[in-house]
Copies of this chain bind each other. A is one copy, B any other.
Amino acid sequence: MRIHLVTPIVTEGIRTLDDVAELNRNGLSITQSLITAGPASIECEFDEAMAVPGIVAEAIAAERSGADAVIIDCMGDPGLKAAREVVSIPVLGPSETAMHLAAMLGHRFSIVTVLDSVVPMIDNLAKLYGMAEKLASIRVIDIPVLDLESDPARLTEELARASLAAVESDGAHSIVLGCTGFLGCADAIGSALAAKGYDLPVVDPIPATVCIAQAIVRAGLRHSKRTYARPQPKTLKGYPYIDF
């Protein structure tokens, strides 16, 4: 089984296959691509919108090259619905997947993310996914995406601090990491919470979404074409890289 990860930015080096190497097991192969048109990072609605044509192009390419499922590597789930329309394989968003998983794992969950500017986006996704009443709070660490790798110790510390506040003040029973750039931080946060006496799951969205994508493929399920009907052929100007 092969799952293709579309990292919806144009910045080289932010995410590589090395980061997700440990997911290549149990007969699973992961491939990954950046997009060729789009923003350096995703931190607002404008960034998301600029990434979608590139995401759609990569999803089409992934299906043509035989991938079994596509994951859009961003917690804003940009282009999730459009990509589902143009391919027949499952397309997963880590935000949708992680919210549903967290909803199954405990009473309410909080999302810890980067900046104030993405809070309305994530809050709106929770509404669309029917998860609003499961969402205890959204907290931010106030570090821009492109600075996440500059000080790993501070990143973990800020995530642990925000997660602890979510547990103690907002009633969170699970934590969802609210940026795919937080990859690999879940264990440290879980340990920090455990040290305070709180035993609860911390969902790292990309690994969790890879596992759920595998599950959906194995269960023989696909997205509904009642919801995501294939677009009718018609003129499309300005996107030579979209071969649909």
Contacts and interface: CB of A to CB of B under 8 A. Distances in A.
Contacts of A133: 127, 130, 132
A242 B46 CA distance: 11
B50 A236 contact: yes
Contact of A227 (B43, B84, B120): B120
Contacts of A229: 44, 116-117
A225 B100 CA distance: 18
A215 interface: yes
Integer count of this chain's copies in the complex: 6
Contacts of A239: 37, 50
Interface string A73-103: 0000001011011100000100011001101
A41 interface: yes
B207 A48 contact: no
A90 B10 CA distance: 30
A38 B235 CA distance: 8
